[in-house]
Amino acid sequence: MTVESFFERGERAGPPSDQRGAGGFDCPAELSHAGGRRSVFDAADDRRVADGMTHMKIVRAPHASARVLSVDAAAARAMPGVIAVLTHEDVADTTILDPVIRFAGQRVAAVVAETEAVAKAACRAITVEYDVHDPVTDPHAALSPDSPKVHETADSNIVAELHGSTGDVDTGLTFAFTVHDATYTQDVRPVPPDGRECTGWLDDDARLILRTAAPSPARIGDALATLHDLPRAHVHVLGEASGPGGPGILTEDIVALAVLKTRRPVTLKGSGPERTEGTAECNPIEVRVRLGASHGGRLTAMDLRVVCNVGAYGGHAAGALMRAVGESVAPYKCRSKRIDGYAVRTNTPAPGTFFDDWVAKADFAVERAMDDLVDKLGLDPVAFRRMNAIGPADPAISADGSHVRAGGGVLTDGRNESG
């Protein structure tokens, strides 16, 4: 299991609320209030960690789909200053270093050394032999039953699909005065400004402490405790408690592993190309929107087809897809609505923590289509929206006729699976 696969399974169990410190920071109960015996991370810890700090660098696969046949790390292990070289053979009970390569940039080996320069040199001394396979990187190709499977044991590359309709969409489009039909593609891939830095160590009580720039530290702690089979109270993650959380955590699990193996403080940080190789991305999404309207500007039909690329893993794909397709059509009064949504695995990096960007991207596509439709009708865009938007007394109806709760998802009759 990796942190990505933990989140993909939708596991949310965590410590009781009294074990989460002020602001949501993850800390044990005895430290989460005034008068605790000591802070989780204080100046003394800082000096001790800095004095014994080791540095980690990662060897990444250049192929999008492959299997590791062998890793020759003998030369790297013999280099002065190298503390440990970790490969899938050293962590056979997990897939933190997985011999099955599912995207270019996936981790193959990790080096822990006394200096960053030695760690980089040791990475260059490692030789990896691969059995390279044909990847599937296009989500439309991945939808095909004949497509290579990103996960060999899965029946298909579809993580989640949602289908629903209300009214008669085809008739609404056929008899509309004006129809707008366009496809909107968004593939925004931000580079994390922090370089995904993570530092870990063991405190005086042999508890695993991690300091990370990733959001949702309590949830990362949940995942790491499960991943490394540790008591939850023995794992503490320091980081920003706010912001979206998700499976785009690509450093914490490997740093935790190195700390537990070497019993030394370990830091992993990237600069330059290291900040983009294997880094979590926002989910690319394609939305086809068909809108029909009368001469006066009343919507007669709304038809959406959404294809989301979730990368090699599909954490939270079902919930995010439900919100994206449901909330984008619900604000408008229209008797005929239809949605078809797909979240599809491909041989690309796992998605980042910006899960709600699916909602924003789907909303953007619908609103852009509305503007294009208004241009064809020659109407004022604000007046058009006021005419078609739901009012305070109107229910927010999704494409299957169910009500969308404020801030919630849409109930559909389609398949909804994750994992």
In angstroms, the Cα distances linking 349 to 1, 72, 384 are 16, 25, 40
CB atoms within 10 A of CB 154: 14
DSSP state at residue 338: E
pTM (predicted TM-score): 0.78
Q: Pick out the chain residues at pLDDT < 50.
A: 2-41, 242-249, 355, 403-419
* pLDDT of 64: 94
Question: What beta strand segments (E) does 76-157 contain?
Answer: 82-86, 100-101, 107-113, 127-132
* pLDDT of 164: 87
* pLDDT of 410: 34
pLDDT of 23-50, one tens digit each?
Answer: 333 333 333 333 333 444 455 556 666 7
* pLDDT of 355: 47
Helix (H, G, I), strand (E, B) or coil at 235: strand
Closest Cα partner for 186 from 143, 139, 256, 134? 139
* pLDDT of 189: 58
* pLDDT of 413: 33
**Paired strand residues for 57:** 111
Q: Name the class of domain 3-133+191-275.
A: alpha beta
In angstroms, the Cα distances linking 139 to 51, 159, 178, 269 are 48, 12, 31, 31
* pLDDT of 138: 93
Closest Cα partner for 61 from 406, 384, 347? 347
| 3-133+191-275 and 139-190+281-388 have identical folds | no
* pLDDT of 37: 37
Q: What token pair was written down for 211?
A: 């300091």
Every domain of the chain and the residues it spans:
3-133+191-275, 139-190+281-388
Question: What beta strand segments (E) does 294-411 contain?
Answer: 299-309, 337-344
Q: Select from 3.30.1370.60, 1.10.3720.10, 1.10.10.10, 3.30.365.10 the CATH code of 139-190+281-388.
A: 3.30.365.10
